[in-house]
Amino acid sequence: MKTDICKKLGIEYPIFAFTHCRDVVVAVSKAGGIGVLGAVGYSPEQLKEELDWIDEHIGEYPYGVDTVIPQKYEGMDEKDPEQLLESLQKMIPDGHREFVEELLSDNGVPKAPETNGPKGGLLGWTEATAEPQIDEALKHPNVKLIANALGTPPADMIKKIQDKGVLIGALCGKIKQAVAHKEAGLDFIIAQGGEGGGHTGEIGSIVLWPQIIDAVDGLPVLAAGGIGSGRQMAAAMSTGAQGVWCGSLWLAVEEAAAQPAEKDSYLNATSEDTIRSKAWTGKPARMLKNKWTEAWENPENPDPLPMPLQGMITFDAMRRTSMYAGSGSTQEVSFNAAGQVIGQVKQIESVKDVIYRMINEYLDSVERLNSLLPKE
Amino acid sequence: MKTDICKKLGIEYPIFAFTHCRDVVVAVSKAGGIGVLGAVGYSPEQLKEELDWIDEHIGEYPYGVDTVIPQKYEGMDEKDPEQLLESLQKMIPDGHREFVEELLSDNGVPKAPETNGPKGGLLGWTEATAEPQIDEALKHPNVKLIANALGTPPADMIKKIQDKGVLIGALCGKIKQAVAHKEAGLDFIIAQGGEGGGHTGEIGSIVLWPQIIDAVDGLPVLAAGGIGSGRQMAAAMSTGAQGVWCGSLWLAVEEAAAQPAEKDSYLNATSEDTIRSKAWTGKPARMLKNKWTEAWENPENPDPLPMPLQGMITFDAMRRTSMYAGSGSTQEVSFNAAGQVIGQVKQIESVKDVIYRMINEYLDSVERLNSLLPKE
């Protein structure tokens, strides 16, 4: 099932694995797909460490990096990271920080020591903070693909990436975003339906995929949102996608660095246990429902702030709930981003087993379709 | 692509067309699929007229009838239609009727003469009002299939239907509903993803279909929600569905009895123009967004009443907006049920053209999947 984009990237299977975990990146690329590391939560120094580690372990296989530059965010005219941070910090009401602290302490989440993470909790979701990530990524020769979530990347970044011979694509959940991506000269599009995890729109995958494939006429489209098996992969490829972009599938694999309590949250979730909420980043993202999402969805409590402000006040919560995942009722206030397909993740498997199972299921699906064709 | 359920029903293509229009039922069945008439809005006398007309025009082809008996509704212990109506009418606050009247008059919708429609606006969405519909349907020998929306039908209805050699199935949007359907002995399941039109759940089609197929192990599953092309049909069949259940696709066909203004509303809608709202029936249903849905979604206005009360106060609005579809700004307060796939309906075509196009696209999709297989 090698599609054109597989040939360009030199990969065996059209399986694109979005993950926050370097071990998963390596395992996916080695199994014939391509691992893509989500960079948004790393400072440039941390990102360098992660990519150096991947370089040491991945051999000759290619991999990718995922950044998050939104189309719109508070302070978007400011390109200097320090200035931006200063002006953003003034925009955060005290009550919001107190509300976060209360939620954490009510659920027994311990305080955590400082790390060399992003300053002031301002993650890579601004142009000012994402550009250093892209500059770092481009120093690593096996990085063959960069994907941007939430918007069309700025023209100079696109040029910088393509000049290095690296493919640049971006996610979208609406036709008009896909068309904007194409007009900006991107190399591929990731069409993510509303059932997907993380930042996501409202149009269902089965409706969105073929519409975007037609709208960008000829540009490779990867299907995202709701793909957790080879049957779903075959469905995506039937609509004309050149590959599948999966995230939830890797949350509880053997190689994922997540703590057991976090993996348990994913393994125990059904497809009905997710919610699309602004509770963590200020833009709608799909995640497991818990007391944290309930609290922010409750109209009597503070409203989530616009991006990137909400992320700045939730960054400490993310860090602490991730560090002490198994402590007290931490899982009740953790950020467990996941798509509806999480309901299909029922056991811990190795990345290789997941990929081989997908390929086998895919081949069975195609065989089944063939068996239904009228006999000539 | 004849699946087992096609063979049982004696149809050529696994395309199940839900429609409120008898002409569409006939055209779909004659083109090789099977038309299913939505009965909920008809009094038993009106339904008899519609089914008699279909019998006269459909020749030897089979067709189906769709009823709506919800799992839960107000007054569900009352089996006598007259008593039920009386007790329900007492439960409706005056303010709600006034709010409806104001919305209609503000948008220039004329008053309409009485017809022989359901008494008091109590449609077929109670056991008491649906049973006479089923009794009527079973008098028509070409009715080979009955489908129930919103719940598992009562055991005596299932028996009555199966005793006549008619297949009985039901819609669902969650695994546990599908399992309840199977346990009740239904012959098939319709798994409808949240992108679908009319009453619908929250799980996306691509996630829901394979999960339900696995959960009812062996029972035929029809895929619904987001199918408007042969590519989407191939996607559904890839996941293991035995057929596709489409509704939005027939809203603006040549044969549909809808008025030009109503067809225009559908033709002009994009996939982003629908909303899942309780505004018409009291249970979440997907429809085109307009001033009516905005008004009921506004927290400052009256809340929608529970089913079937909301339907009783909106019945007159449905009748008037349908009768005077092109008058004033009637479309702004019309009930235009539609799934997200409505964005793909861009021109008026005949049913036959739609079905043949779907089949061709389907075959192309399978061919494309085959062309991607590794050469042996």
Which among B210, B272, B373 has the least Cβ separation from residue A174?
B272
Residue of chain B with shortest Cα separation from A270: B175
- Whether A274 has its CB under 8 Å from any CB of chain B: the answer is no
Q: How far apart are CA B55 and CA B50, in angstroms?
A: 9
Q: What is the DSSP string of A311-329?
A: HHHHHHHHHHHHHTTTSTT
Which among B236, B271, B373 has the least Cβ separation from residue A207?
B271
CB pairs under 8 A between A and B: 156
Task: Look at A204 and B3 and tell me if their CB atoms are within 8 Å.
Answer: no
Q: How confident is the model at residue A150 (pLDDT cuts 50, 70, 90)?
A: confident
**Window B:20-49, CB contacts with A under 8 Å:** none
For A32-49, b/e burial (b = at least 16 CB within 10 A) is bbbbbbbbbbbbbebbbe
Task: Look at A363 and B343 and tell me if their CB atoms are within 8 Å.
Answer: no
Q: How confident is the model at residue B75 (pLDDT cuts 50, 70, 90)?
A: confident
CA angle A194, A200, A205 (to 5 degrees): 30
CA distances from B221 to A339, A376, B147 (A): 23, 27, 12
- Whether B235 has its CB under 8 Å from any CB of chain A: the answer is yes
**Window A:147-176, CB contacts with B under 8 Å:** 174-175
**Contact (CB, 8 A) for A145 and A36:** yes
Q: Say how far residue A49 (Cα) sits from the centre of its chain.
A: 20
Q: How far apart are CA A273 and CA B47, in angstroms?
A: 40
Q: A10 to chain B, minimum CA–CA distance in Å?
A: 15
Which among B202, B208, B238 has the least Cβ separation from residue A238?
B238
Please determine, for residue B88, whether its predicted confidence score (pLDDT) is greater than 90.
yes
Task: Look at A372 and B1 and tell me if their CB atoms are within 8 Å.
Answer: yes
**Contact (CB, 8 A) for B367 and B270:** no
Nearest to B247 by CA among B226, B230, B231: B226
Q: B183 to chain A, minimum CA–CA distance in Å?
A: 21
3.20.20.70, 3.30.300.30, 3.40.50.300, 1.10.150.120: CATH of A4-73+124-279+337-372: 3.20.20.70
Work out the number of other CB atoms within 10 angstroms of the CB of residue A115.
10
Q: Give residue A106's pLDDT.
A: 94
CA distances from B191 to A28, B62, B161, B196, B201 (A): 32, 22, 21, 10, 10
- Whether B270 has its CB under 8 Å from any CB of chain A: the answer is yes
Say which DSSP state A17 is in: E
Q: Give residue B123's pLDDT.
A: 82
Q: Which residue has the tokens 């002006």?
A: A87
Q: Over the Cα atoms of chain B, what is R_g?
A: 20
Is B188 exposed, middle or buried, given 0-12, 13-18 or 19+ CB atoms closer than 10 A? buried
Q: Which residues contact B312 (CB under 8 A, 6 or more apart)?
A: B88, B89, B92, B120, B121, B122
Beta strand extents in chain A (DSSP E only): 15-19, 34-38, 63-68, 143-149, 167-172, 188-192, 198-199, 221-224, 243-246, 274-277, 285-288
Which ipTM was obtained for this model? 0.95
Q: Give residue A376's pLDDT.
A: 62
Q: Give residue A339's pLDDT.
A: 98
- Whether B239 has its CB under 8 Å from any CB of chain A: the answer is yes
Q: What is the pLDDT of residues A30-72, one digit of tens each?
A: 999 999 999 998 989 999 999 999 999 999 999 999 998 877 8
Q: What is the pLDDT of residues B142-155, one digit of tens each?
A: 999 999 998 999 99
Q: Give residue B81's pLDDT.
A: 84
Class of domain B4-372: alpha beta
Q: How confident is the model at residue B376 (pLDDT cuts 50, 70, 90)?
A: low
Q: What is the pLDDT of residues B273-317, one digit of tens each?
A: 999 999 999 999 999 999 999 999 999 999 999 999 999 999 989
Which among B235, B365, B374 has the least Cβ separation from residue A206?
B235
Tokens of A120: 């002031």
Give the H or E element holding residue A104: helix A94-106
- 3-class SS of residue A197: coil
Q: A368 to chain B, minimum CA–CA distance in Å?
A: 7
Task: Look at A206 and B226 and tell me if their CB atoms are within 8 Å.
Answer: yes
Least confident of A173-187, A323-337, B115-129: B115-129
Give which of B206, B286, B365, B366 to mutate to test A binding, by max A Cβ within 10 Å: B206
Q: How far apart are CA A286 and CA A278, in angstroms?
A: 9
Which among B206, B343, B368 has the least Cβ separation from residue A211?
B343
Q: Which residues contact A291 (CB under 8 A, 6 or more apart)?
A: A103, A107, A329, A332, A333
Q: What is the pLDDT of residues A239-277, one digit of tens each?
A: 999 999 999 999 999 999 999 999 999 999 999 999 999
- 3-class SS of residue A120: helix
Please determine, for residue A84, whether its predicted confidence score (pLDDT) is greater than 80.
yes
Residue of chain B with shortest Cα separation from A363: B373
Task: Look at B195 and A203 and tell me if their CB atoms are within 8 Å.
Answer: yes
Which among B204, B363, B366 has the least Cβ separation from residue A204?
B204
CA distances from B15 to A94, B148, B227, B237 (A): 58, 17, 10, 11
Task: Look at A236 and B237 and tell me if their CB atoms are within 8 Å.
Answer: no
Give me the mean pLDDT over the A283-308 stretch.
Answer: 96
